[in-house]
Amino acid sequence: MSAVLLRRAVSSTRGATRGCEIVLRNVRTLNVDHGAPVQGIPPPLQGIKILDLTRVLAGPTSTMLLADLGADVIKVEEVSRGDDTRSWNPPSAPLLADAPEQASHLPPESAYFLAVNRNKRSITVNFKQPEGLAIIHKLVKESDILVENFISGKLAESGLGWEDCRKINPRLIYASITGYGQTGPFSKAAGYDVIVEAEAGLMHITGEPDGPPCKVGVAATDIATGLYAHGAIMAALLSRQRTGQGVWIDCNLFESQLAGLANIASNYLIAGQEGGRHGTAHPSIVPYQVFPCKDGFIMIGAGNDKQFKLFAEKILERPDLPSDPKFSNNKARVANRQALVSLITETLQKEGRDHWIEKLTGLGVPFGPINNIRQTFAHPQVAAREMVTEVEHPRAGKIKLVSPAVTYNGKRMPISKPPPYLSQHTTEVLTELGYSESEIAGLREKKII
């Protein structure tokens, strides 16, 4: 960690020394500011059982968030390969020499799969066969929630649609995650993050003004859909508590991305204003973009006249700029964007990134360095907030995972189970369902499980 970053983390315009003491005290003792021990809350979904028929990212994200809250998530996977992302490597975690013998035929655990499957149990079932379908029906009967991300209508062909499952369990919350929803002309189309990014406007507004459309660097539409599904399932649990009835949730990538257009969508609906690509810049605020330094990049967002005045005087050393009619208010700065951006760029390229971080720290002008992933995880806030958790995996040994993103009364929900290896819990779950050892062996021999 650079000294500059540490100074930035604990500095402010007033009370920097006291701020440093608070940060360091919290790192050492994990106490909240008033000194009371961190208690957290009991897992709010403890006792809730979730049948997880999802794979890849959107669905597994939603079920992982529910598992973090204490739900028993049983992930049902294809018998021989499992979740598609199990084969998305490299990179993957190294295998232990003494890894479980029953999993010796499996490939290494892919980093992608490990990212979104903590706190779950894995079983493998071929539910295209009657005996496999019977297993899933038993799980439906015992579950509170079923989450699936098959193409609309596909599970109904196998006897696992909403109408089929509600007959087995009228209290079941059935969450369908698709590309385009259960109705409409695209309802039977498969959903892929990058395709929906293109089709629902996100890619059109991402990239440099004079460059081609770009995809976002992570599958943001999938992740947003997983978050929407997670929230909808929590709402459905509250609804069931009042009505005693299950709910069919229709959540999809296309509508999630449309909702995620936020002010860009509103600009079009209210004023007919088409969106465009602005790189890292803001169409309505200047300066508000990434600027190159001598040895890297820095994001600066002087969003009002007061911040611009500070920036001009203390960083650019140009006290004349705030009174210049071309830059005296935001409207003028937007109109003269290129001239101001060129001036700022010329100044910032004279020194390295850490020089400008030090000068900007505590000034009151929003800024942030452009960190690569290594620098991101070296950020002092990551360590102070314990945003990385190390867990013991039965095949890979100690692995590091990003911690759950929310704390409750100062404490995160625990990662009680590492991401499972394929079929790790099949015998355990079937035993809970009442299957005998000989029945389980027979199912395994017939490749039902």
Q: Using an 8 Å Cβ cutoff, are 152 and 187 in contact?
A: yes
10 Å Cβ neighbour count for 406? 10
pLDDT at residue 186 greater than cutoff 50: yes
Largest Cα span, the chain: 86
- Using alpha carbons, list the distances in angstroms from residue 324 to 243, 321, 331, 340, 364: 64, 5, 13, 11, 22
The residues near 182 (Cβ < 8 Å, ≥ 6 apart) are: 152, 176, 250
Q: Which of 222, 250, 305, 354 is catalytic?
A: 222
pLDDT tens digit sequence for 200-228:
999 999 999 999 999 999 999 999 999 99
pTM (predicted TM-score): 0.89
Helix axis angle, 130-142 to 437-445, nearest 10° = 130
Instruction: Write down the residue that tokens 């439906």 correspond to.
Output: 140
pLDDT at residue 319 greater than cutoff 90: yes
d(CA 322, CA 73): 58
Tokens of 177: 């995650």
Q: Using an 8 Å Cβ cutoff, are 148 and 53 in contact?
A: yes
Helix axis angle, 353-360 to 3-10, nearest 10° = 20
Average pLDDT over residues 39-64: 97
Lowest-confidence segment of 27-36, 213-222, 325-334, 389-398 by average pLDDT: 27-36
pLDDT at residue 37 greater than cutoff 80: no
- Using alpha carbons, list the distances in angstroms from residue 24 to 18, 28, 271, 386: 10, 6, 49, 13
Specify burial of residue 63 (Cβ count, 10 A radius: 0-12, 13-18, 19+). buried
Amino acid in position 378: A
Average pLDDT over residues 342-357: 97
Average pLDDT, the chain: 92
Which ranges in 403-447 belong to alpha helices (H)?
A: 426-432, 437-445
Instruction: Write down the residue that tokens 């452009």 correspond to.
Output: 370
Residue 39, pLDDT score: 85
Residue 131, pLDDT score: 98
d(CA 128, CA 147): 18
Report the relative pairing of strands 388-393 and 397-402 from DSSP bridges. antiparallel
pLDDT tens digit sequence for 65-116:
999 999 999 999 999 999 999 999 999 999 999 999 999 999 999 999 999 9
φ, ψ at 100 (rounded to 5°)? -55, 130
Identify whether 354 is a catalytic site residue: no
d(CA 53, CA 193): 19
- Using alpha carbons, list the distances in angstroms from residue 38 to 18, 41, 389, 396, 411: 21, 10, 18, 31, 6
d(CA 62, CA 234): 11
